[in-house]
Amino acid sequence: MKYLVVSDSHGDKAILQKLVTAYAGKVDLMLHCGDSELPVTDEVFKYFKVVRGNCDYDLDLQDEQFFDRGQDKILLVHGHLLGVGFGLGGLQAKMDELGANMAFFGHTHQLGVEVINGKLLLNPGSISYPRGKYTAIGGTFAIVETFADENGKQIEVQYYDRELNAIPELQVTFNGK
């Protein structure tokens, strides 16, 4: 399975349309981790699954979504309600509650990915207003690809910039059971 994960576009509809043009039909799921500042009825959300962030005021947006894609059990949240700015404990607890083995979240505007206790936690960073170590890239999103074979599960994560260029130093592969 292949997932495009983006977050914190803060009204930058053009970048979301660019992602739709480039990736619709080429990935299994397009996910937006909140703070789009667009209404749930916007046509771009015909392509993205989206959640409400702390800067989203459309009450029809959900605070979280859960997707069961076979071996991938995905929690999609913004993260502000789970305190991701202070650590990942709340996010991990929500994953355990739902039986998720992958969580995609935003809020901090800082990209990051890790596997904790066999579960993937990924922040794609902000596509429009990045912060932290990778601010100079000017905005990021991630593509996550999962594979399963007789040797177990493999997850490949590749981060991209706003020009849709892969960032070679921001690629990682996780192998698990």
Q: Count up the domains in the chain and report the number.
A: 1
Domain containing 64 — which CATH number? 3.60.21.10
Q: What is the pLDDT of residue 115?
A: 95
Q: In what order do the strands lie in the sheet with 119-123?
A: 64-69, 72-77, 102-104, 119-123, 112-116
Point out the residues of the chain with pLDDT beneath 50. none
Q: Is the pTM above the cut of 0.85?
A: yes
> What's the whole-number average pLDDT of the chain?
96
Q: Is 158 exposed, middle or buried (0-12, 13-18, 19+ CB in 10 A)?
A: middle
Q: Which domain holds residue 67?
A: 2-176
Q: What is the pLDDT of residue 111?
A: 97
Q: What is the pLDDT of residue 177?
A: 58
Task: Write the pLDDT tens digit of every residue in 77-118.
Answer: 999 999 999 999 999 999 999 999 999 999 999 999 999 999
